[in-house]
Every structure is written in C-alpha cells, then in structure tokens.
Amino acid sequence: MLIVHHLNHSRSQRVLWALEELNLPYQIVRYQREPTMLAPPALKKVHPLGKSPVVEDNGLILAESGAILEYLQETYDGDNLLRPDSPGEKLACRFWLHYAEGSLMPLLLMKLVFTSLGKKPVPWALRPIGKALGQGVQKAYLNKQLVTHADYIENHLAQSTWFAGESFSIADIQMSYPVMALLARGGMRDLEHTNAWYQRIQQRPAFERAIAQGGPFDIPGG
C-alpha cells in the first residue's frame, strides 16, 4: 500500500488529493510542525532532506510534489483521469506542473520570510531593522514580481477552465498550493478568474476527502 508521510499545513496535501482523485488506497503517517513552523527531525529518518511530502511505494522512496504527482499519474492513472488528451494540453500540463515550484513558490516563500523579519523569533531589538528591510525588499522587488505572476495566472484562467485547458489534471493539483499562498500572501483579492478556479477545486469531492483525511489545512498569510 502507498504510504504518505504527511506534514500538517503543507504541500503533502496535494498528494492526498491526487490519491483521492485516483481512488487509490493509502496509509498516512502524520507529522506536526515544530513551533518554528519547520518540519520535525523525524522526517529525516524517511528522507535525508527531512521535508514533506514523501511517499513510499513498493520499496521506492519518492520526494518532491511534482515528481510524486507525475509518478502517480504514470503508474496508476490507467484511465487518464489526471492527464489531458491533446498534445497542446499535455504541454501546458507539464509547464504548470513545473512553474508552480520553479517560478512561483520561491517568490511566495520570500514574501513570507521578509514579512516575518519584524516578528518573533527575530530578537526584539532587531525587529525594527528587520521590518524596515522586509518592507523595502517587498516594495522594491517582491510585490512587483507577484503582481506580474498574478496577472499571468489570471489572464490564463480567463481563457481556460483548468490550468492545462478544458481537462482537469495534475497541473491543477500542483498549482493549488501556490495559488492559495498567492491569495493569502499577495494581498490580491480581486482576481476574478483565479478565485473562480479556486472555488471549482474546492467543490471537487476528492479535494474535500483529501482535506478530511489530511486534517485542517491553512497557509500562513503575509
């Protein structure tokens, strides 16, 4: 049976969602974040990087969300539930699958870090400097970049029901975490088509089952 090493409030929620979409049986091994919001040391016993998600399957240890989703689709998706049919949509699916973590999430992580420089656990004497530094980087660079990416996503979803086209795919599952983080941290609430897409994924029964299996799911804002 597939085993998912699941960290609360993390990217591993996407793996649970994919498994529910494919109606695959799986077992969850649960981990709780440390007070610092980092993953606990116990995850390093499963994979040297100590990150989640990690999936075990027939002796294989799989890490990285995109790689896991591709593996699940290629290995278990005989009915092409998560794979588009046309060559153009397949290419789009691949693009968004890699764009999620390669282009968008680094900016969102930077947003979280620079927003946190004026807060605990930064020592209180350094918080004013940290806050000023964080605000300066966001104003000069980060916020502009996030607006560019938000517009790019919004314009794409204005023309496409799902990220790969008219077919739901692993691209939508992979993009769910960064889009949720963008809406939480980017300060952009008026993205009509992006929010409509977000409403559509929340209405999928497999998404609801994954939340029920994984537990409460929240992405810290910025």
pLDDT of residue 186: 60
Asked whether the predicted pLDDT for residue 38 surpasses 80, the reply is: no
CA-to-CA distance for 187 and 222, rounded, in angstroms? Answer: 8
H or E element in which residue 2 lies: strand 2-7
Has residue 131 got a pLDDT over 80? no
CA distances from 178 to 97, 135, 221 (A): 11, 21, 12
Question: Tokens representing 61?
Answer: 């240890």
Q: Which CATH number fits domain 2-82: 1.10.10.60, 3.30.450.40, 3.40.30.10, 3.40.50.300?
A: 3.40.30.10
Higher pLDDT, residue 7 or 124? 7
Residue 142 pLDDT class (50, 70, 90 cuts): confident
Count of other CB atoms within 10 angstroms of residue 222 = 21
Asked if residues 193 and 154 have their Cβ atoms less than 8 Å apart, the reply is yes
Beta bridge partners, 56, equal 3, 61
Dist. CA 108–CA 180, nearest whole Å: 10
Domain layout of the chain by residue ranges: 2-82, 87-204
Examine the pLDDT at 134 and tell me if it is beyond 70.
no
Q: Are 66 and 100 in contact (CB under 8 A)?
A: yes
Statement: 87-204 belongs to CATH 1.20.1050.40: no
Bridge partner list, 138: none
* Interacting residues of 62 by C-beta distance below 8 A, sequence separation 6+: 54, 55, 56, 68, 71
More confident residue, 183 or 168: 168
Q: 1 burial class (0-12, 13-18, 19+ CB within 10 angstroms)?
A: exposed
Task: Say what the pLDDT of residue 216 is.
Answer: 77
Angle of CA points 99, 203, 206, to nearest 5°: 75
Q: Note the pTM of the prediction, 2 decimals.
A: 0.91
For residue range 173-211, what is the model confidence (pLDDT) as tens digits? Answer: 999 999 998 888 666 668 999 999 999 999 999 999 999
Q: Which two tokens stand for residue 208?
A: 């609801």
Alpha-carbon torsion angle 152, 153, 157, 161, nearest 10:
140
Separation in Å, CA 181 to CA 9, 17, 50, 219? 11, 17, 22, 6
